Structure 1
Amino acid sequence: MATKTLVLFSSWFAATSALASPLDLFRYADGSTNWQYVSNTSGSLLIIALSYVVVRLLLSRAESRRYSRQLEQIRSELEQRVQQRTATLDEFNQLLKESNRALESEASQHKETAKQLQQSQHYLSNVLASMPLILIGLDSTGAVTQWNRRAAEISGIDAEQAIGANLWEIYPAITVQPGQVNQALTQAKTVTIKHSQRGQYHFDITIYPLSSSRAPGVVVLIDDVTDRILAENSLIQRDKMSSMGELAAVMARDLASPLTAVAGALERGDSAAASARNQQAQAIIANLLSFSQQRGGAVEAIAMPALVDSAIERAGQLLSAPSGLLFSAIEVQRHYPEQLPVIAGYRAELEQALLSLLRHACIALADSAKPSLTVAVTERSGAVWLSVQFFGQLLSDEQQRLLFEPAYQQDQPSNDSLDAGERLSFAHFIVCEQHRGNLAVTSNAEYGTTFHLRLPLR
């Protein structure tokens, strides 16, 4: 139809162009109007217009659809972007909430930490203030950084006055010297000083550097140990007096038997017996003099079997029981292995300790019909062990407990008590204190009485 319309339009245009006036096209030759042609032309023009409108509508519709698709795509993209932005915002909001929660938790922990730190500082301040010794902190220039309550009490200087001031300017009477503080700083080692005035005061002074502090400094601890030293000296003096009393009692007991025998022999006119017992008394005195001269010598290597043999031989020359039993009359059985390592010790002291054990055995065997004892030396567990076993008068549990204890005047006597001459505290001191060994006793009817002596090889 569009083609037909174009043909008609072309014909009309050609006819019109040939006419003088466009209206001549619609007239007949006689000049009357050709209404049929007018109608056809109008219809054609209307069809042409309608066709154009339809074409435009179709084109507009296609373009509208294209724009709609583009708009839909843009809307979809916008929705997607909005969703992405929304998701991002949600994520940021979640992260922000988590951050807020973390900040709240951290703030709570910080508050708790600050509270604990404050409590720790308060506790540390209380500890420093309550210490029974003087505590002074110094920096590298000698300025005071710490001054506890005890330091204020002793010096009469308050902490507010002392902090920041030079120690020797505000407290010149202090026993710590600048050179000692510098020594601790320069050598980065603890310096220990004992300062005392005999009979008046005793101080233990410790100066140690601050190793982990950024600013170099030292802490000075001054401990007043006067009461402790006096108490220790009193105990040492009491132990010395007890040892002297024990040695005096042992000497008196050792001398009593031969001197009594000398007196009896002289009454009987037995000069030979009196001379023998007199030689025994002289040997006892010579032994004590020799021990006093040799005591405190150098440490030496000692073969235990030889030391035991020497002690047994000396016991035969010196010892006797109040009943008159001579140690030389006791049968001694010896059990030594062929090879024994030597020990390091003081020969004279160890021999006197063995003599004390043999003296106790001699007195305990005084009423035996056939007195005998067994001495055994062995090595085990890194030590040399010596045992002295005999069957004689037994020791009660209380006597076993008291045997190695010093005898003091305040001890209450009882049926099981032991006097100073019967105790072995001096022998126990030699073995346990001087030689880091052990000395014990067991006593029962089945195995008799046994002294157990242990001396470490190192």
Structure 2
Amino acid sequence: MRDKSILGLTTLLLSALLSLFIVEYELFVIGGQQEAVRTYARVVATSMWNFEPQAPRDYLEIIAAQQDYKRIWVETPDGNLFVSACGGLDSRLDRYLARLGLIRLVSFSAPVEYEGEIIGVVTAEWWNQSIYVDGIATFFALLILVIVWMYLRLARAKQDLELRVQERTAEVSRLQHLLQNIADSMPSALITVDTAGRVLTWNPAATQLTGRQRDDVLGRSLWQMCPMLGAYRETFETVVDRRQVVHLHEKRGSPPGGKTYWDVSIFPLVADDVRGAVLRIDDVTQRVHLEKEVLHSAKMASVGRLAAGVAHEINNPLSGIAQSVQLVMRALDVGLDDTRRRLKEMGLDPDALGRYLAARRVLFYLKGARQAGERAARIVSDLLTFSRKPLGGFTSHDLNDLVERTLVLAETDYDLGRGYDFKDVVVVRELAPDLPRVICDGQQIQQVILNLVRNAAQEMLRAEATLAAREEGWRPRLVLRTSLTEDGSYLRLEVEDNGMGLTPEAREHLFEPFFTTKEVGVGTGLGLWLCWSIVVERHHGRIWGETLPEEAGGHGTRFIVELPLAP
């Protein structure tokens, strides 16, 4: 629509200019010819007055030839022809143009005056080519219109082409932005490197993995900026040379945050003039730990089944031992009438035997053997209970009883290689009596108590040398405290030690899986996370840890578990 408007305005303008040109041209031609004829009349006047016909004839023939007149002549006032001259024969073009109507024959007369008297009339006749000129002008006007139309078409085509280029550029930019967003959103570290080892692309996951910002590494050597990736340089060069994909699984990495496990894939890059490789690095530390934990759980399940079988086998001889000791003690108890009677029947003095047994402390040792057997029976019973799979889930339990049974299990915990023995810890029980029973999964709560108690004991014994040197007479001390919250809706269990306390880093990552402050190979970092999962997710309770305040000794850790009375 816009092109048509421009073309219409251009046509009107050219038509107006053409009309003005034609009018001006005709006025110019006709005016010039009229003035020329008047000039001829003045020149001819003298010859006619002197009646010299030959002189004006020669003059007029010259003029006719020069001005391309068809004919020029002079008549006297009485109408007689005085002299006449022709400019030449009509050309074939003139005749053809005359038939087409593009030229026409026109004439102009001027009086011949001499001393104020008209002595004749000069008439000139010529082909008027203004129409021909008009045609030429029209042709050029049409030619200009065609040029303008073609220019407008080309301009429109250019505009359309620029628009398509802009759309394609925008689409390419959108796709590049989309690909960049995809790369930035991926959890895998993606690093593009050319053959010289210079970094071409770098996504946020690579920043998180290496601690290096994108602007710091782009265009620089990857191996210099990230020495922890230098172990893969040889593999990178092999991939570039052979153009083969290489996958490396569960490789140990050493990023700024600590040692991790990586899956590393290196892909050859051949794009236009760019050659190099793309490194994809996935942090699989959690997966590796989970796999190890699954294997450990399977192993522990096997150990649990083995322990259950062993416990069953031990339980029978323990019962026999306990009964035998009980019978021996009864047989040697000289205070019983039946025993005294049987001794006398055998000719033995019951009082003398009693004095002998007391002097040798036989009954004392037998009583110790009986207590040891009973303790072993309780351990076997607790071990069987702890190793069984829960059948009914949540049931009513006495929290103090769960604490006591868990401590019995904890007393068997020792590690000769690390010099760790739970019996070296002073255990203080501050268990509130007459607490209401709580609806919970007893085995899982025992697991929570056991994890907290073992963690506290291990941390105290690990820091024993430091704390003993700092505080004279220091001994590892563990306090287990139960109570009812002020609003009466929760049962509270506190596990308190007198160790080093929690570091700021430990408080920040306290219940995160795989975070541990223990030495490599000692802890998996899942104990506190498992406690949190059992208390919060399974029982809808609360659990948190804190460092003891100054008034409580200035060091040590307290873990608080709160279980709702109403499940």
- TM normalised by structure 2 equals 0.30
Structure with more of its chain in strand, by fraction: 2
| Greater RCO, CA 8 A, separation 6+ | 1
TM-score normalised according to structure 1 size: 0.37
